[in-house]
Structure 1
Amino acid sequence: MASIRRPHSPAKQQHLLRHHHGLSSSPPSSPLRHSSSSSPRAHHPHPLLLFSRRPLPLPRFAAFFLLGSFLGLLQFLSHNDPSLPLQHNPQPQFPILRRSAADHKLLIVVTPTRARPSQAYYLTRMANTLRLVHQPLLWIVVQAGNPTPEAAAALRRTAVMHRYVGCCHDLNASSSTPRHYRPHQINAALDIVDNHRLHGIVYFADEEGVYSLHLFHHLRHIRRFGTWPVPVISQGTNEVVLQGPVCKQGQVVGWHTTDDTNKLQRFHVSLSGFAFNSTMLWDPKLRSHLAWNSIRHPEMVKESLQGSAFVEQLVEDESQMEGIPADCSQIMNWHVPFGSESVVYPKGWRVATDLDVIIPLK
């Protein structure tokens, strides 16, 4: 006769499992899991029994949590006791300089250049100055003629954000004087600002000039048109001529000039002695006056009158100018004469001949 085994009730199954657990060291087997051991006696415990063996001490955990919270609050109140003396932190060795909204204005520095032996020297020196200026800054370098690989490589090594373009290809840069194609280079840079609607302060910086960092700091505070005096070193006599505005409380009240031939100029200002807002180029509503369709450097005007003729397109009179600084008493940049033009420009800036040893080492 076949025997029939009836399953136990759930309560009796739990009693048998607990009784089996107390007699044997091996955990009871679970019908949901199989042992991975080779021995048939190795079993895994039931998941529900893991939580039923050792109940969590919730009252004890809550007591320790409340005690720790009370001690932390007590320590916090002791540090903020008004009866205790305040502990001041020592001053940092290097104070943190907070930049204003004007310091984030874009500076657009325009530098005309040409191929010659000292080109790498002038571009590198100018780049070392611009690297110390706070960003954002865009350096537009305009080459007289086609751009050269040597100048492009020198500019890439400067780590300054720049735009290197060429202009006036129909002009013979070797036979023409630098002042002859300088207006074409400036207009090529103004075309870039106008076409791309760049919003910032435009400044013409000659690569031969010497500039201080205070100048670029003052440039960002210009609203429309700013100017300052610039000492010009005469190339023939090595005399210093101060050219620029005479200011009083930020207003231009006169001009410095010692050259009698330039008394016919309307504004006695050097090309590197003023800066203006770029919106005056591409937004007619923001110009000082609406007398010009486009503002460009004059190309057919006498060389000594070109700077004044360009400024006349930007402002009507001295009341629309800003003196930098307020009394225009600081010299922030120098205009030096051009370098020697008698040196032959080597191709690739490499000497390919006369490399024989004249005096051998002994």
Structure 2
Amino acid sequence: MCILFVAAAGEIVHPKTQVDTDPILPILYLITPTYYRLSQIPDLTRLANTLAHVKKAHWIVVEDAYHESQRVLALLNQSSITYTYLTKRESKKARASNLKGVSQRNAGIEWIRQHHIPTVDGVFYFADDDNTYSLELFEEMRKTRKVSIWPVGFAGGRAVETPKVENGKVVGFSAWSPEREFAVDMAGFALNVKVLFDHPNMKFSYNTENSFQETEFLQQCCTRDDLEPLADECTKILVWHTRTENPDMGFVKPQDVKHLMKFYA
């Protein structure tokens, strides 16, 4: 049974009961910003099928919208995943700056701050819905003590963006704009939930350059020396920035488009 309640203005939450109560296994909070597009439901379906195999995970889906999507809600209800569904419309300021997911990621962070039980060990991660994830990645990130990091395939115009590791320490990056203190993709790091409580004002900014969100976010809580290289000291790729595109509907007749769109409403 799913209970509907309003958490705050513009945010509608649908929690499911947490089934896995293993007291030792850290809980994973997986924040997924999403928005309406033709590929949205296929992308979320693929991610839901992956997360269904992840133990003790709580999926926080945050939609860039004023109102809930019945199709997204139906998908979540049909899954076996513990979830919270929020709606948070992106601000005009963020839209004007071409930043993506700022309001949604911040809404997910704030939900964790409000609902996480401090005595429970937990890790949070930004799991975009157009990436491809190995199940091994989720088990790796449970090891996070403060901030963990790993390679991301097909990111930054490269086959792989990866931290450079020497003697167990991150000493640099093979990535786009490697001079950044944290030259990492959004899919390439996770944080222990304790970080959110140690840094209560930590959030994404609307005044950041589009490709510097990760760096400025992490600068609020750590230095490069704090990074914990996972995935066999960053030698394995466990997540890929595959992305999806809206399907080519060049052969769809104009009179059929309206009928077709009702399936994606």
Q: TM-score when scaled to structure 2?
A: 0.78
Q: Give, in whole Å, the separation in 1 of the partners of 2:207 and 2:180.
A: 16
1:121 aligned partner:
42
C-alpha change, 1:233 and 1:147, in structure 2 (3 Å) is same
1:225 aligns with 2:147: yes
1:158 aligns with 2:79: yes
Letter of the aligned partner of 2:137 in structure 1? L
Q: Give, in whole Å, the separation in 2 of the partners of 1:171 and 1:148.
A: 21
1:349 aligned partner:
263
| Contact preservation (8 Å) 1:247, 1:326 | no
Q: Give, in whole Å, the separation in 1 of the partners of 2:90 and 2:182.
A: 31
Q: Give, in whole Å, the separation in 2 of the partners of 1:318 and 1:159.
A: 37
Structure number with the bigger relative contact order (C-alpha 8 A, sep ≥ 6) is 2
Q: Structure 1, residues 64-96: CA drift from partner, whole Å, max 9, x if none? A: xxxxxxxxxxxxxxxxxxxxxxxxxxxxxxxxx
Q: Give, in whole Å, the separation in 2 of the partners of 1:331 and 1:126.
A: 18
Q: Give, in whole Å, the separation in 2 of the partners of 1:129 and 1:121.
A: 13
Percent of paired sites with the same residue: 28
Q: CA deviation at 1:177?
A: 9.1
Q: Give, in whole Å, the separation in 2 of the partners of 1:185 and 1:179.
A: 14
Give the secondary-structure state (helix, strand or coil) at the position aligned to 2:31: strand
C-alpha change, 1:177 and 1:159, in structure 2 (3 Å) is farther
2:246 aligned partner:
340
| Contact preservation (8 Å) 2:172, 2:178 | no
Give the secondary-structure state (helix, strand or coil) at the position aligned to 1:272: helix
Runs of 4+ in 1 over 6 A off after TM superposition: 341-345
1:204 aligned partner:
126
1:299 aligns with 2:221: no
2:68 aligned partner:
147
2:225 aligned partner:
319
* Residue from 161, 168, 172 that aligns with 1:243: 161
Q: CA deviation at 1:306?
A: 1.1
Pick the structure with more strand per residue: 2
Aligned positions of 1:272-311 closer than 5 A: 272-282=187-197, 284=198, 293-311=200-218
Letter of the aligned partner of 2:263 in structure 1? W
Q: TM-score when scaled to structure 1?
A: 0.58
Letter of the aligned partner of 1:296 in structure 2? K
C-alpha change, 1:226 and 1:304, in structure 2 (3 Å) is same
1:10 aligned partner:
none
* Residue from 174, 183, 195 that aligns with 2:114: 195
Q: CA deviation at 1:327?
A: 2.3
Give the secondary-structure state (helix, strand or coil) at the position aligned to 2:187: coil
Give the secondary-structure state (helix, strand or coil) at the position aligned to 2:220: helix
Give the secondary-structure state (helix, strand or coil) at the position aligned to 1:307: helix
Letter of the aligned partner of 1:139 in structure 2? W
| Contact preservation (8 Å) 1:108, 1:201 | yes
| Contact preservation (8 Å) 1:249, 1:326 | no
Q: Structure 1, residues 186-237: CA drift from partner, whole Å, max 9, x if none? A: 0010010111235510010111100001101111111111000112256xxx
Q: Give, in whole Å, the separation in 2 of the partners of 1:272 and 1:114.
A: 18
| Aligned length, in residue pairs | 232
Q: CA deviation at 1:297?
A: 1.1
Q: Give, in whole Å, the separation in 2 of the partners of 1:340 and 1:177.
A: 23
Larger radius of gyration: 1
| Contact preservation (8 Å) 1:233, 1:335 | yes
Letter of the aligned partner of 1:298 in structure 2? S
With 143-152 and 247-256 compared, the bigger mean Cα shift is at 247-256
| Contact preservation (8 Å) 2:64, 2:89 | yes
Q: CA deviation at 1:253?
A: 1.9
2:183 aligned partner:
268
Q: Give, in whole Å, the separation in 1 of the partners of 2:57 and 2:93.
A: 31
Q: Give, in whole Å, the separation in 1 of the partners of 2:227 and 2:264.
A: 47
C-alpha change, 1:319 and 1:181, in structure 2 (3 Å) is closer
